[in-house]
Structure 1
Amino acid sequence: MLNLSIVLEDSARKAPDRTAVVFGDLRLPYSMIDTVARQVAALLVSRGVGKGDKVALACPNVPYFPFVYFGILKAGATVVPLNVLLQGREIAYHLDDSDAKALFCFEGTPELPLGERGRAGFEAAEGCEHFFVLPATPLATESEYGESFWAAIDGMPAEFETVQTDPDDTAVILYTSGTTGQPKGAELSHQNMLMNAVVSDEMFPRAEGGDVSLAVLPLFHSFGQTTVMNSGFRRCSTLVLMPRFEPGEALELMRKEGVTLFAGVPTMYWAMLTKIHAEGAEVPRSLRVAVAGGASSPVEVLRDFEETFGIGILEGYGLSETSPVASFNQLGRPTKPGTIGTPIWGVEMKLIDSDWKTIDGEGPGEIAVRGHNVMKGYYGRPEATAEVMRDGWFRTGDIATRDEDGYYAIVDRAKDMIIRGGFNVYPREIEEVLMTHEAVSLAAVVGVSHDSHGEEIKAYVIRTPGATLTEQELIGWARENMAAYKYPRVVEFRDALPMTATGKILKRELR
């Protein structure tokens, strides 16, 4: 018996009155998060959803996220977290692909009409039977989009015995855009997720009066889910939820709530430092640990942060397929800025060539990972799984070097992936969508460097003969058909694109 929900249950038993979640003026204790999660589990079971079933969750960083996430786990079901920026057709794809039986969807706001998109996606997905709305108005029992969460759990028992799951049962399916274009679901077991949370927690000493963590990394993403929520709940931390990153507000929350732990992507650090230097924003002094991942941090940012905040940023590395943490600059060992550190406890890493042969010395080579953190495989995709897994090793597609002390440094990313503001964007997926436009004959998408996002998405497009499509028209169309982090912000029309003899577009000539 092993269930990831133990990270919440154990803390709710040990410290029921400790504040688990802060959201605006709301302060919710561990006992309440656990009680509502039990009601969610009872609701699912009452609707015929149980062990082994998949339940999708589309929700930003608000208290509903832990309520529903742990409720699904308690019911013995599998959580399928969805990116909140997905459009209706993308939500339908994820629901169909994961065989989700139910969807819990945040109602959204005028700026982020998630309820509307979620309802459209639910309607279009064949096998999804239940749709629960997480209302934007606290405790609202009605919603124009469907059954309200509060009405649904009303009358559900506050007692629920967590369904027994095995260590290898699937706890979470995290979607990652493969280079093949369509997103694939990485199946992560209770053991994968629990071990990663435990090891992430044990890497840092606990604060005397308890830790306070700023949860601004999206909880639907592996980085926020494991290193902020799951490890935070395991160590009885208080999570200060922030649905949308804004540098001034983040600094203010850190000061006000006495935040001791912060995990973010490099652009968040860059934005906070810019705010401090440009506007003289006050530096919060409570911070003890700062962690970065998702993309390489510019060394300038690392240096500036250490000078400004008096502590260094610890950089790590991982992927959805590795639960996610694989390596880290760990406390108690020298930190090497610009590296991703050494493998975490229980995990091995090596460098390989394209034929899986081990590369000795400093490389470069492709990182392969083996250990308790490696996924079971891609859900329903044995061929795609076989391409990246062999003898327990997972090949990451990231090229790195390794120094004499065993520290790895990323040289280049898997072929063409673009990382925009910490989100992975795969050009092929964008190209496929652009080419559904009747005026687009051919498209090639590349990342171009950008001051605040790290990379911006640029599309080179050949129009169909006679088409009069303008750049702005195509960008506007793309915005409506793709998630906000994916659509190209820059379009350049060309009469021809550079190609190899076999007709492959030479992207390196476009960058």
Structure 2
Amino acid sequence: MNTVDRLWSHAENTPDAIAVRVADESWTYGRLRDLIATWAARLDRAGISAGDRVLLVAPTSQEFVVVHHAVAAIGAIGVTVNSTSTAAELEYFLTDAECALAIAWHETQDVARRAAEATGIDLWVLEAGDVDIDVSPDLQLPRPMAEDDTSVLLYTSGTTGKPKGAELTHGNIVACAEIIAGALESDSSDRVGTALPLFHVFGQVCVMASTFAVGASLSLLRPFSGPGLLQMAAAHRLTVLAGVPTMWNAMLHADVDVSREDLAGLTHALSGGAALPLAVADAFRERFGCRVLDGYGLSETTGAATSAKLSVRRKEGSVGPALPRLKACIMDPDGRQVEPGVHGEVAVAGPVIMKGYWRRPEATAEVMRGEWFLTGDIGKQDEDGDVWIVDRKKDLVIRGGYNVYPREIEEVLYTHPDLREVAVIGVPDDRLGEEIAVVFAPHPGREVDAARLREWLEERVAPYKVPRVYQQVEELPKGSTGKILKRQLDRGAVLAEGTRVSSGRSAS
């Protein structure tokens, strides 16, 4: 088994089928295989062998697709990281993974070189167009690997402590690709498009691997813009679009001449990476006629866990039931499954669960309960198996003894006509322990009065859930996938600079 096997099969059986498209250029499965084989031969000649770690620092591009699959084809382990990483971060990845080689996009070569020199590791610079065909006739590809052999190391965000490398195996990736493709009822006629970063599990496995699993085509856009992705969807006649909530929001409000008719072939869109506000999903379908399927997963679950179904209307706020071949449940602090409707920690089991954290057996043991992976997310589940993600365990705000889940308030705020982005957080409070604050960015040209916003919320949520502190910003901080990064919000600054709004209504 090798994650590249299916791509090789398509190259043999349908060599002229389009595999990758970027703007007006395209690469067939036959050509893509030859380009991958060329890079595999280069790696082999450099002494890279099965099990060696290779750091890849590159943005979404056809070059990433080629090099990433070349590493897998020879049985080496890809360490794909954010292309905007600092030298210190790259040095940490190189050292922690004990990499044998670093390959960096030409635009990041200065930063990567400092990290490589500090660790004594060779650096190859990847130039745009650096994919000439020069296949070694003696190299048999893809090399057979065991199902539990590690294929990639994906480092977690490190919100608590240093980032940990989640070991995803060849079996994990193949299973995830098959599961996602099956859930979407994908086939070789599909034309999939995304602007997601391919170094992240969502773009790399849930989108790219599942597309190649069925021999469909993958259109790539970089950098992301709402108008740009809509224009690509129309020009490439996409049938499937993949993104994160901030992307759908940007497309929804894009001033671009792309209509429902232009996207007539777009059957559905796949959303992940963060919770999708229902108001955004409904508005996107209203404007473009395309249903957005909200899914849930983590790097440790190869990006897959639950998803709304194609044939069933999504229950309000739900991320759907467990995907086929997977299981999901809610556990209490003692590791026991709770009754439907009771809040607890979301746990997932199935063939997509990571092998473990790279050389961190204690950290792995902390998140595993037999076959179950503990996600760190608080959720609930109904009798049908549908899951609701209430919030991150660490994002829970305890205000005067009351548990407040920020996501619940954010869902309400996203229905406000003047708000574009929101984040609800806890800030220190001497009397209550924590107070609730909302940081928001209005739509361009809109004015939002904090006092009126509080009044609006008081009509929609219980008194103890109403934020008391309001801060307006031009834009909220985001990660590489477009996910809003609450951890980058300075709680002290929000408390000091935000507006504290009182109310005559009793709200203890």
Same structural fold, with TM-score higher than 0.5 when normalized by the shorter chain? yes
User: For the Cα contact (< 8 Å) 2:5–2:142, is it kept in 1?
Assistant: no
Amino acid at match of 1:200: I
Displacement after TM superposition at 1:485 (Å): 8.3
Of 341, 345, 362, which residue of structure 2 is paired with 1:362? 341
Structure-1 residue corresponding to 2:125: 133
Structure-2 residue corresponding to 1:459: none
Structure-2 residue corresponding to 1:221: 200
Structure-2 residue corresponding to 1:189: 169
Structure-1 residue corresponding to 2:111: 117
Q: What RMSD in Å do the two structures reach over aligned CA positions?
A: 3.0
Q: Does 2:304 align with 1:325?
A: yes
User: For the Cα contact (< 8 Å) 1:21–1:29, is it kept in 2?
Assistant: yes
Tell me: CA distance 1:19–1:369, structure 2 relative to 1, closer, same or farther (3 Å): same
Tell me: CA distance 1:412–1:484, structure 2 relative to 1, closer, same or farther (3 Å): closer
Q: TM-score, normalised by structure 1?
A: 0.77
In structure 2, distance between residues paired with 1:156 and 1:318: 39
Structure-1 residue corresponding to 2:279: 300
Amino acid at match of 1:379: W
In structure 1, distance between residues paired with 2:328 and 2:304: 12
- Greater CA drift, 314-323 or 238-247: 238-247
Amino acid at match of 1:44: L
Structure-1 residue corresponding to 2:375: 396
Structure-2 residue corresponding to 1:170: 150
User: Identity of aligned pairs, percent?
Assistant: 35
In structure 1, distance between residues paired with 2:134 and 2:490: 49
SS of match in other structure, 2:2: coil
Tell me: CA distance 1:96–1:13, structure 2 relative to 1, closer, same or farther (3 Å): same
Q: Does 2:140 align with 1:160?
A: yes
Q: Does 2:319 align with 1:340?
A: yes
In structure 2, distance between residues paired with 1:447 and 1:267: 21
> What's the CA shift string for 1:345-402, capped at 9, x where partnerless?
1111111112212212211110011110101110011111111012121100001111
Of 324, 331, 334, which residue of structure 2 is paired with 1:352? 331
- 4+ residue runs of structure 1 moved beyond 3 angstroms? 153-160, 278-283, 416-419, 446-453, 483-496
Structure-1 residue corresponding to 2:101: 102
In structure 2, distance between residues paired with 1:390 and 1:162: 34
Displacement after TM superposition at 1:293 (Å): 1.0
Structure-2 residue corresponding to 1:256: 235
Structure-2 residue corresponding to 1:430: none
Of 190, 203, 215, which residue of structure 2 is paired with 1:236? 215
Q: TM-score, normalised by structure 2?
A: 0.77
Structure-2 residue corresponding to 1:10: 9
Structure-1 residue corresponding to 2:49: 50
Displacement after TM superposition at 1:7 (Å): 2.7
In structure 2, distance between residues paired with 1:66 and 1:414: 35
Tell me: CA distance 1:451–1:237, structure 2 relative to 1, closer, same or farther (3 Å): farther
SS of match in other structure, 2:185: coil
In structure 2, distance between residues paired with 1:280 and 1:166: 50
Structure-1 residue corresponding to 2:394: 415
What number of residue pairs does the alignment pair up?
424
Q: How does 1:436-475 map to 2 (within 5 A)?
A: 449-451=439-441
Displacement after TM superposition at 1:155 (Å): 7.0
Tell me: CA distance 1:359–1:4, structure 2 relative to 1, closer, same or farther (3 Å): same
Q: Does 2:351 align with 1:372?
A: yes
In structure 2, distance between residues paired with 1:206 and 1:24: 23
Displacement after TM superposition at 1:314 (Å): 0.8
In structure 2, distance between residues paired with 1:315 and 1:230: 19
SS of match in other structure, 1:94: helix
In structure 1, distance between residues paired with 2:234 and 2:483: 30
Amino acid at match of 1:162: P
In structure 2, distance between residues paired with 1:44 and 1:218: 24
User: For the Cα contact (< 8 Å) 2:227–2:251, is it kept in 1?
Assistant: yes
Displacement after TM superposition at 1:491 (Å): 8.1
Tell me: CA distance 1:239–1:484, structure 2 relative to 1, closer, same or farther (3 Å): closer
SS of match in other structure, 2:156: strand
Provide structure 1 residue ranges, at least 5 long, that are not aligned to the other structure: 109-113, 140-148, 420-424, 428-443, 454-477, 497-511
Displacement after TM superposition at 1:168 (Å): 0.5
Tell me: CA distance 1:4–1:183, structure 2 relative to 1, closer, same or farther (3 Å): same
Provide structure 2 residue ranges, at least 5 long, that are not aligned to the other structure: 397-405, 408-422, 426-433, 444-476, 497-508
